[in-house]
Structure 1
Amino acid sequence: MDLDPALPALRPLGGFFVLRPAGVPPRPLPTLAEVYENRTWDVYRDPLTFRVRKVGRALRTSEERVAASIAQQGLAARLWSITLGCAVLYGRIPDLDPRLLRWDPDGSAPDDLWPAEIRPRPADTASLVATVLDAHLEPLATTLRARHRLAPGLLRGNAASALAGAARQLQEWARAHGRPDAAAHARALTADLFTHPLLAPTGTLTEPGTAFRRRSCCLYYRVPGGGVCGDCCFTRPPRPSAHGRSG
C-alpha cells in the first residue's frame, strides 16, 4: 500500500497513531530538533520546560522529575505508534526528521505533531530504530537528564514500555478486524526491535509479543492518587525509603 500523505489507515487505531496533515500548522510551533537542542523559542521560550510543567499540573504533582518522565513516555508512545502502525499497515514509514516535525507543547494528550511533508522510508527494523530511537528518544533523553535527575535506564524503560504499548494496541486492532497478517507482522517487528542494545536490557517481552515487564519504574506511583503501571518492575508502590532507588 502506498504511503498516502493523509495516512488514513492509521485513523481507526486511535489518536496516538495519527499525524496532523502535512504542511504548515495554523500557528508557529517549534520543531522537535529545536526542543532537543534547548533552543529558546519565541512563544514558549523553553518548550520542553513548558510541556513538563503542563504535564505536572495535569497530574497534580510538583515534582518536575516525575512530570518529565511521564511527558517523555507520552512523546515516545506517539512516535512508536506512528512508525509501527505505518510499517505494519503500509509497508513504509514516514520520515519523522525532528528538523521537519513540529510539536505543540501546549497540546493535549496525545502529543500534537505536524510533519512538513510525508516522505516514505523503508519499514525495516534499522529504519525504525534510526527514526525513533536515534533521531528522537536518545536526544530527548540527553536533554532531560541534563535538567532532571532521571536515570538513563528509566528513560529507556519508558521508551520500551511505549513501544510495547503501541504494539499491543496495534495487535488488538488487527485481531478484532480479522487481520492476522498485521498482528503477526507487528509481533515480529516488535520482537526484533527489542533485540536492539538500547531496548534489550530494559525488560522482558513475552509471548505473544505484547506482554512486557520492565526493569525500571516511570515514577507514576509518585503522582497523587497514582499507583504502579501494569508493566512496572514493582508490584506495589515502593515505601518512602525506596524512593531514591526507583529510577
Structure 2
Amino acid sequence: MDQHRLPLTKLQTGLPPASPSAVLRVIADISSVGGRFELGVSRAEAGWRPLTDLLTDPGGLEAVIRDMAGHMGTDETRVAASILFQKVASRLCSPAFGAAVAHGLLIGLDPRRVHWHAAPDGVLPLRVTDPAGWEVRDPVQAADALYRTVVIGLLEPLGEAVRAVVKIAPGLLWGNAASALAGTMRALVRVRPELTGPALTLGRELLDIGPLRDTGELAEPSPGHPFFVRRSCCLYYRVSGDKCGDCGLTDPGAPRDRRAHAVHGSRRARPA
C-alpha cells in the first residue's frame, strides 16, 4: 500500500503530542502572519458549519459555488468552482504549513472540528474547536504529516465533492492546490524572511508527493523569493482577461526573472 494512502488514524503514530497551551500559542502566532493564516479557536456559533458539511453536502456546496460565481460576476460555474477550491486550499494549507515551518508543530485539522461560514468574497473564515497538535521537527516527517492531514484528509474529499457537482479536471484542481501552497510560502517568507530556508525545504518535499508532484516548477530566482510556475490553468483569465503570474499558459520563453518579478509584485493576480 502507498504510504500516503494509509488511514489517517496512523498519522499520530510516533509523533509526540504537543500540550494544549503550546498549540494555542502556535495558532495565535501563525494567525498574526496575515489573513490567509488566520485560524480562530472557539466553540461553534450560529452561522458556523463544520467543514464536513462542505465535503458531504452537494446542495450546500453548489450554493457556495453559485455565491462565488455571483461575486466574480460570471455564470461559468466551472471557473467559480476552481477559484473556490483554490481559496479553500489556501485557507486550509496556510496555518498548517506556517505552524510546521515556524514551530515544528502539526495542527490537527479534523473536518468535524474545523468550522466555516460563508463570506461575500468566498474566502471562508475558519475556526477550530479543541485543537490538538503534534511535534514534527524533521522536514520529511513534517511533509508526510501535512500531506496526510491537509491533502488526504481535506483536499482529496473536497476535490471529489467539487467534481461531483461541476465538471472539472482533477489536474486543474491539483494545480490549484500546488499554487495555493506556493502562495503560502511566498506570504510566509515575505513577512518572516528568516523562515525562507525551512519553508522552501518543506514546500519542495510537499510538492513531490502524490498528485502535487509534477504540477509545476518551484524555484528561487532571487534570494528569499520562491517562485512557482504551474503546468495548468485555474481559469481565472476567463473573468479577469489576464493570466495569473504562475499560469502554465504564459509565454514559456519569457525570462524567469521577469516572470518571478511579476509573481512577486503583480497586483492583478487572482485573490488567494
TM-score normalised according to structure 2 size: 0.77
Identify if the C-alpha distance between structure 1 residues 28 and 6 changes in structure 2 by more than 3 Å, giving closer, same or farther.
Answer: farther
Query: Does the 8 A contact of 1:5 with 1:22 survive in 2?
Result: no
Give the equivalent residue in structure 2 for 1:219: 235
Give the equivalent residue in structure 2 for 1:133: 151
Counterpart of 1:18 (choices 24, 34, 38) is 38
Aligned-partner Cα distance in 2 for 1:104–1:5? 24
Aligned-partner Cα distance in 1 for 2:154–2:117? 16
1:104 shift after superposition? 0.9
1:216 shift after superposition? 0.6
Query: What 5-or-longer segments of structure 2 have no aligned partner?
Result: 1-17, 137-141, 252-272
Amino acid at match of 1:146: A
Residues 80-229 of structure 1: pairs in structure 2 closer than 5 A: 80-106=93-119, 108-123=121-136, 124-175=142-193, 180=194, 182-207=195-220, 210-223=226-239, 225-229=240-244
Query: What 5-or-longer segments of structure 1 have no aligned partner?
Result: 40-45, 237-247
Identify if the C-alpha distance between structure 1 residues 195 and 6 changes in structure 2 by more than 3 Å, giving closer, same or farther.
Answer: closer
1:222 shift after superposition? 0.8
Q: Does 2:57 match 1:38? A: yes
Aligned-partner Cα distance in 2 for 1:20–1:8? 8
Equivalenced residues, count: 223
Identify if the C-alpha distance between structure 1 residues 11 and 102 changes in structure 2 by more than 3 Å, giving closer, same or farther.
Answer: closer
Identify if the C-alpha distance between structure 1 residues 107 and 97 changes in structure 2 by more than 3 Å, giving closer, same or farther.
Answer: farther
Give the equivalent residue in structure 1 for 2:48: 29
Query: Does the 8 A contact of 2:51 with 2:112 survive in 1?
Result: yes
TM-score normalised according to structure 1 size: 0.84
Give the equivalent residue in structure 2 for 1:63: 76
1:108 shift after superposition? 4.2
Give the equivalent residue in structure 2 for 1:245: none
Identity %: 36
1:47 shift after superposition? 2.5
Give the equivalent residue in structure 2 for 1:54: 67
Aligned-partner Cα distance in 2 for 1:156–1:18? 23
